[in-house]
Every structure is written in C-alpha cells, then in structure tokens.
Chains A and B, each alone.
Chain A
Amino acid sequence: MLITLFNAVLILLITWLAYLYFDLREKAMPARERYSQLLGGVSSIVDRLEGYDKAHSSEIAGLSLILGRASGMNDEQLQSLNAAAMLHDVGELLLPRSIMKSNKRLEGDDLELLRTHTLLGELHLKSQIDGLDEVPSLIRWHHERWDGLGYPDNLKGEEIPLAARVLALADAISAMNAQRSYRSRQFVRTDDIVAEVKRLSGMQFDPQLVKNWLAIGNPFEYKPK
C-alpha cells in the first residue's frame, strides 16, 4: 500500500496546518509573521521526514524570494512563491518510505514513481484546500527545465511560469550544496556552484534568472543564520 497509517497521519497534520495557514491569511492579512511561522512549521516536518541535512524548504524559500524580487515579481506573486517553496516537496510524503530513504540513485520505475511527487503534491493540496490559487500549479512545475526536458509536463522556456522557474533554480542551487541519502555533497565550494549554474544556463535554467542571481551581491546570502 502506498500510504501507510503513519504517512496518512502526517498528511492529515500537514493538510491541517496548511489549511490553517490559508484560512488565517484570508482572515487577518497583517499577521504575516504568523503565517510564515506556520508554513515554516509545515515545511520543517517535510524536511525532517525527507532526511535533509539542513532546512531545505526555508532555504529555498529565502533564495526564491530574493530571486523573485530581483526578477520584478509583485507582492501577490511573492506570497504564492513563498508558499510553494515551503510546500514544494509535500508530495514526497505520499510515496513509499523505501523510495525516499533509498541510499542508491533511483532508476527505472522507482525514478518514475519519485517523479510523481510533483503531481501528488499538486493534487493533494488542491483537493484538500480551497483558494490556493496558483500554489499547487507551481508545486507541479518545480522540476521543469528551461530546455523542455524536465517533468511532469515538459514545459519549455517561458511556458514555465516565472515563479516556477525561480523555484526550480532555487531548488537546484540548494540541492547542489546538500547531502542526500544516496550521495555526498555535489559541490562544497560556492565558486563551483556558481560555475555549474552558469554551465547549465539555457539548458536547465532560465538565462535571465541566472543573470539576476549572479547580480545579487552575495548569491548565497539567503542562507539561514
């Protein structure tokens, strides 16, 4: 069975917290601090369960917001981007633990199954919470690539909404510097990460976003203190 009792309880908890977040957002707009704390709580559960070696979701959210601002996104878009960044991997909780905890690089059917986390995340949030607007769509597209060879829809270039492109770049930068159960850190030195991002400009990443990222004084200033 895909969903164990343990997973089901977690999903319910996360759904409830997310519901609280969006409900509160509607009722009390000035209390942004509380919303982001709630979202932070949800995302930290996801990070913990996924076994990340750092606060992955909040790191991505921090970088996404800096990049989004530098790319001219407005407050409404930034709010959706922040929520999507915090919840982007929530679909992974619906996958078997054996896949997520595997210490081997996944291939074949296992890899295909892992790739469904974008769809599962979108479907679950959409079916459980009304009024999320574009947040589920952004979660769906956070693994799309600029050259059209990502997943799940193989969107290409500007077909990928700007917020999803920002999220994809932030996710990749964070992953380059993170340890995974199946591998050690890809790049330890920040210079190597910068070189890799530049190398993949026009293939994996939107060149304009890469340029915006490089223009940020310290491209790693988003790191949580």
Chain B
Amino acid sequence: MTLRLQSSWLLEAVSEVATVDSVFFPIIHRFSALNWLSRREFSLSVNAVTASQAMILRAWLDGRNGPFSDKNLQKFNQQIKNPLDLSMNPFRAWKDRWFDRQQLDYLFYWREAAFEIEDEKQREIFWSAVYQIMSCWLSNRAGDMQTVCQPDEIMGLMLNRHGEFIRGREAKIEITNSSLDELEARNACLTVFPLVFADEESSETTLQIIFDAWQNGHDDLELPRRELRVQLRRYQISIERPNDYHIFTKLSSNSQIAAIAWSGADLPPTLYEQELVKPMQKAFEKRYTQSRLLMKAVDRSSDSYDYLLLFY
C-alpha cells in the first residue's frame, strides 16, 4: 500500500475543528508512520491486524522497552564464519528468490538466537530488527544491488537505529491486536483510517508476509498471505465497485472527528471525489454534519496527490 500519512498536516487540519487529546488508529500500515504522532502530548491507541505487526509496534514505539542491550548484542549477534548446512534450513526454498545463501544462514541463526533471549521485550526488539534487515535485503534484491554490509554489521546498525528511534520517547501508546470484526470503537477525539485499496500487494505487504512465515518457522507464504487477506477483507475498498463503509462508520462512532487518508496516483482527483468522497459522505452523514477534503500535490505529471477527508 502506498500511503503517505502526513501527521503534522493531519493535526494542523484537525486543530481547526478541535483540540486533539486522543487519537485512535483501527489499523496502521507501518510502525514508523506513527513516529511523529507518538511523540505528541496526547494518548494514542493503535490496533495491529497481525500479531507480528503488534510486536513491531511495541518494539519501536513503546519507550518503556528501552534499547537492545550491548550484552545481548554481543551474545546473540555472532558472525557466522562457515556456511551452515542448507538441508537443515527451513527457509532453503527461498534461496535466490528472496535471499542469498549467506542471508538464509543468518535468518536461520537469528531465529534460533531470538528464542534464546530470555527477556521478552528484548526478544521483540531483536525480531523487529530482523524485520528491518529483511526489508533492506529485499529492496536491494529488487533494485538489483548487492548488499555490501555484512549481516552481523547490519544487525548492529539496525539495533543502533532502533536505540536512536526510541530515545526520549515516553510510553503513552496503547497497542492492541484484534480482528477488525471484533474491534470496538474508542472514545477518542480523532479516529484515523489509512485507506487500503483492494487491488494492491505492495512491497511492504510482501515483507510482512515473508516475516510472518519466517517468524513461524516455515517457508510457505500462502498461509500468512491468506490470513492477512482474511483480516483485511472487510476493510479494503475498491474504487471500481460500491463499498458500504460500515466498518468505518462503526469504528468512528465514538469519535468527534474521523479522518480518512490516502495517496492517489494515475487517477485524476475528480475521479476520487466522485467514486470515493461522495459515497463516503453519504455513509458518514448520519454521524457527522460536516466534511472537508484536503489535497496536496506530490507529482502532478502522474496525478499523484495526497488526500485527507475529514468528518466532524
């Protein structure tokens, strides 16, 4: 999903309507998108649609967990000097498709090492560093670039970045992991819906799927892909067919303001207004009396604009 959630823009727009003291995200596409908001003076409640996503949110956004300790880094990030036996590696089917031989050795070793970490919070930081490393490896592979950093060096770098990322962060964030069907509306000033379009599997989604499979110790990607699809099926929207937006109206029913954010490309803004904004205004009209659509140009030559639709 390509979505540029511009938090300061969101708050600036919303502050004309109310003073925000609490924000609720029924779904989030990426942990780092909440960095700016999670450092503000209000309570933030976020729901993750998968257990691994909830873990990554806790590891990177909850300051109470602290950084990964040097002692654990030395103990659990050893350099592999000789190649491991590939036949023992549960991820060997990924060789040359997603990762190279050396990367697979480390993925095998890091998974085993993670289970040896006694403290759960430290373990979660370690898992989530692997998530970031996988992201780097996969994008280098997609760009046909060789990863120059050695795996143990990149692990050190990622854990260092993590330490910087959480520095000065106070924990005011509540992270849940509920299915969207079971999730209840929150008494929050603002509920934010990042839109998920039905026809996309982005590189971020593929990463999430590979990470889930890896963490669970198997190479089958269809299972986590199916699980994610089931989770999102009632939330995903399509621009071509009618949507009922029931889940949106249900989850924002206790909020003073509802905000819907998406990034558009290749389609002109008038089409989004016609096919998305108007039906949403109809769906939300019982709960909110006013709405406002804001747009920002990103690249006019490809019709790329960021959209923010507010109901209040």
Contact = CB atoms under 8 A, between A and B. Distances in A.
Interface stretch (B129-137, B213-221, B245-253, B268-276): B129-137
Given A147-B135, A156-B30, A202-B136, A211 B145 contact: yes
Interface string A41-56: 0000000000000000
B297 A134 contact: yes
Contacts, number: 107
Contacts of B36: 151-154
Contacts of B33: 148, 153-154
Interface string A145-174: 011110111111111011100000000000
B300 A133 contact: yes
Interface string B181-212: 00000000000000000000001100000000
B77 interface: no
Nearest to A199: B148
A154 B145 contact: no
Interface stretch (B3-11, B14-22, B86-94, B171-179): B3-11
Contacts of A163: 299
B143 A157 contact: no
Interface magnitude class on chain A:
35 or more
Given A77-B301, A159-B263, A199-B148, A153 B143 contact: no
A76 interface: yes
Contact of A108 (B137, B148, B157, B168): B168
A148 B148 CA distance: 20
Contact of B148 (A156, A157, A158, A201): A201
A148 B202 CA distance: 15
A34 to B, nearest CB: 23
Interface in B131-167: 132, 135-137, 139-140, 142-145, 147-149, 154, 157, 161, 165
B78 interface: no
B32 interface: yes
A172 to B, nearest CB: 15
A94 B147 CA distance: 39
Nearest to A116: B8
Given A162-B299, A202-B143, 6 more contacts: A133-B300, A134-B297, A149-B32, A158-B203, A206-B139, A207-B144
Among all A-B residue pairs, the 3 with the closest Cβ atoms: A207-B143, A154-B32, A207-B145
